[in-house]
């Protein structure tokens, strides 16, 4: 009986080890299946990508053939690489010229704005100076009239004095003439 119990215990222990090992192998198999599915998906994506790239390469092949034909017919370029270098040089020069053009356009716009503002400022200054000239001309005209009247009076006074009239007569004559004008 003891042997039988021992035999049963050993069978139970073996059975537990087999179940444990089976579960571990099952988990490992599931992990491998998941990894295989991921790798198959990745392989499918890479295949699609590869097909797209191959299609793109074949569509661009005609341009490469054209460039090779240009190189063969041209004495200027010994091989396709020299043509590519020349193209890169031209592209670099174009970028430099574009940057320079942009810079010059900005500078030109700045100068135009400056000139426009200067033109406005000088126009305002001219208007102010013209106003000053007008005011001074009016003052000059008033001074000329006053000077003319004074000169006229002086002339009349001298004329009257030369004629021998008295000062009172001269004054009354001037007042009379003045009243007539008004």
pLDDT tens-place string over residues 58-89? 999 998 888 888 888 888 888 888 888 999 99
Give the residue extent of every domain in the chain. Answer: 1-73
Gap between the Cα atoms of 110 and 118, Å rounded:
12
Determine the average pLDDT of the residues in 156-175: 62
* pLDDT confidence tier of residue 2, bands split at 50, 70 and 90: confident
* pLDDT confidence tier of residue 34, bands split at 50, 70 and 90: very high
Is it the case that residue 25 has pLDDT exceeding 90?
yes
Gap between the Cα atoms of 27 and 178, Å rounded:
134
pLDDT tens digits for range 89-117: 999 999 999 999 999 999 999 999 999 99
Q: What is the largest CA-CA distance in the chain?
A: 186
| Model confidence, pTM | 0.43
Packing angle, helices 167-181 and 80-163, rounded to 10: 130
pLDDT tens digits for range 114-162: 999 999 999 999 999 999 999 999 999 998 888 888 888 888 777 766 6
C-alpha torsion 116→118→120→126, nearest 10: -150
* pLDDT confidence tier of residue 166, bands split at 50, 70 and 90: low
Is it the case that residue 177 has pLDDT exceeding 80?
no
């Amino acid at each position: 009986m003891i042997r039988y119990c021992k035999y049963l215990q050993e069978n139970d222990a073996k059975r537990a080890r087999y179940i444990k090992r089976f579960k571990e192998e099952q988990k490992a198999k599931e992990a491998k299946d998941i990894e295989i599915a991921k790798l198959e998906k990745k392989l499918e994506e890479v295949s699609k990508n590869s097909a797209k790239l191959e299609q793109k390469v074949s569509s661009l092949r005609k341009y490469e053939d054209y460039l090779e034909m240009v190189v063969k017919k041209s004495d200027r370029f010994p091989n396709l690489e020299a043509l590519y270098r020349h193209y890169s040089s031209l592209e670099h020069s174009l970028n430099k010229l574009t940057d320079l053009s942009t810079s010059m356009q900005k500078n030109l716009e700045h100068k135009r704005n400056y000139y426009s503002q200067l033109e406005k400022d000088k126009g305002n200054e001219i208007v102010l100076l013209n106003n000053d000239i007008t005011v001074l001309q009016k003052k000059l005209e008033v001074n000329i009239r006053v000077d003319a009247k004074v000169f006229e009076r002086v002339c009349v006074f001298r004329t009257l004095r030369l004629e021998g009239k008295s000062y009172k007569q001269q004054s009354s004559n001037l007042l009379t003439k003045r009243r007539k004008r008004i």
